[in-house]
Structure 1
Amino acid sequence: MKSILTLLANLQNQFINTARIAILIVMVWIGGLKAFQYEADGIVPFVANSPLMSFFYSKQAPEYKEYKNPEGKTVEKNIAWHTENNTYLFSYGLGTVIIIIGLLTFLGIWNAKIGLIGGLLTFGMSLVTLTFLITTPEVYVPKLDGDFPTPHYGFPYLSGAGRLVIKDVIMMATGLICAADCAKRIVAMKFNHTKNIL
């Protein structure tokens, strides 16, 4: 048991690098998908309802509800609306930013200053994403009436979209861990530099 604990303790730095690789995979994959129509359409409810991001779109919420495209399906009138709304242009930009943040965090393996920026940006991006739990109605199970009323709806019953968003708590914490590791390395380098001068 002691040898396992020692092994885990000795591998802490490698595990932090594993976290950087995990962030890279998630950011590049999700950021890359932002170039595709279905993913760009899928983020519209989050962006349109966000006071921090809605200005990127030309249309006001909740107009988007009339122009939702089912995943994997193309409805031409909906595509035209999303084009006019700047849905795709914004998604391309957002995807690029997400990929860059992932790369900066990953580069922290070799460069502490770059990694510090990446880790803090990962934290900040995740924090913004978590605000969707407050601003986006679609993150909670809706109340349905009729023959089959919804027994559980609203807070705290997360919908599929809400379950996707809440996972950013992990990204937020991981970004801070990576940033803290880089900060520790920067402080150590400055201390060693000062010590060598003296």
Structure 2
Amino acid sequence: MRKILNGLPPQTFAIGALRWSMVFIFAFFGVAKFASYEAEGVAGIAMHHPLFAWMYPLIGVQGTSNVIGTIELTTGGLIALGLWSHRLGLLGGMMGMGTFLVTLSFSFGASLWEDGFGFPFMGSTAQFLFKDAVLLAACLALTLHAGHTLRQRDAGFAV
């Protein structure tokens, strides 16, 4: 057992895996927001959310989706840049946490359980939203890693 434990990669390997999986998710979900099928799908759930409802009358379904997509692509880019800049990684991680807190807030007032079955049989909305709890935790881990690294680095310059 000790031989196996001694052969484990460092924890930074896990942070790297989290980083690039989140970049992948933000890149593909962000790009999808520029497609009309995704814009329509997002509108179905976001149009009545207080954070987004005001945007739809101003810039429409596709415009609102484009804004969301741009935020997601920016978040993924900042998380990627966190490999070289912990400050940018900290910002990207916090933006990612904000993204998933917002999407999880869609759970309030939504029909989450499958009609005719009830708890624990999730409807498509619950399935769409609940995965974001893990993605929130991944962004939290990236945020904490960047923050702790910045704190340790800055502590080395203390006079």
Decide which moves more: 181-190 or 43-52. Answer: 43-52
Please list, as runs of the form range in 1=range in 2, the aligned pairs for 1:71-82 lying within 5 A after superposition: none
- Cα distance in 2 for partners of 1:173, 1:135 equals 23
- Cα distance in 1 for partners of 2:52, 2:127 equals 21
User: Could you tell me which residue of structure 2 aligns to residue 182 of structure 1?
Assistant: 146
Aligned-residue sequence identity (percent) comes to: 25
**Secondary structure of residue in 1 paired with 2:51:** coil
User: Could you tell me which residue of structure 2 aligns to residue 27 of structure 1?
Assistant: 26
Query: What code does the residue aligned with 1:28 have?
Result: A
Evaluate the alpha carbon distance shift between residue 87 and residue 135 of structure 1 in structure 2; reply closer, same or farther with a 3 A threshold: farther
Does the 8 Å contact 2:100/2:135 carry over to 1? yes
Report the alpha carbon displacement of residue 39 of structure 1 after superposing the two structures with TM: 0.6
Report the alpha carbon displacement of residue 106 of structure 1 after superposing the two structures with TM: 1.7
Evaluate the alpha carbon distance shift between residue 96 and residue 31 of structure 1 in structure 2; reply closer, same or farther with a 3 A threshold: same
- 1:30-67 CA-to-partner distances (Å, cap 9, x unmatched) read 10011111111111122123122212122xxxxxxxxx
- 1:142-168 CA-to-partner distances (Å, cap 9, x unmatched) read 4xxxxxxx2x14x55321232021101
Does the 8 Å contact 1:49/1:135 carry over to 2? no
2:82 aligned to which of 108, 114, 134: 108
Q: CA RMSD in A?
A: 1.8
User: Could you tell me which residue of structure 1 aligns to residue 102 of structure 2?
Assistant: 128
Aligned residues: 159
- Cα distance in 2 for partners of 1:119, 1:7 equals 29
Q: Which runs of 5+ in 2 are unaligned?
A: none
**Secondary structure of residue in 1 paired with 2:34:** coil
Query: What code does the residue aligned with 2:7 have?
Result: L
User: Could you tell me which residue of structure 1 aligns to residue 70 of structure 2?
Assistant: 96
- 1:165-198 CA-to-partner distances (Å, cap 9, x unmatched) read 110101111111001111111111111112xxx4
How high is the TM-score relative to the length of structure 1? 0.74
- Cα distance in 1 for partners of 2:143, 2:3 equals 29
User: Could you tell me which residue of structure 2 aligns to residue 66 of structure 1?
Assistant: none
Query: What code does the residue aligned with 1:49 have?
Result: H
The higher radius of gyration belongs to 1
Give yes or no for the alignment of 1:3 onto 2:3. yes
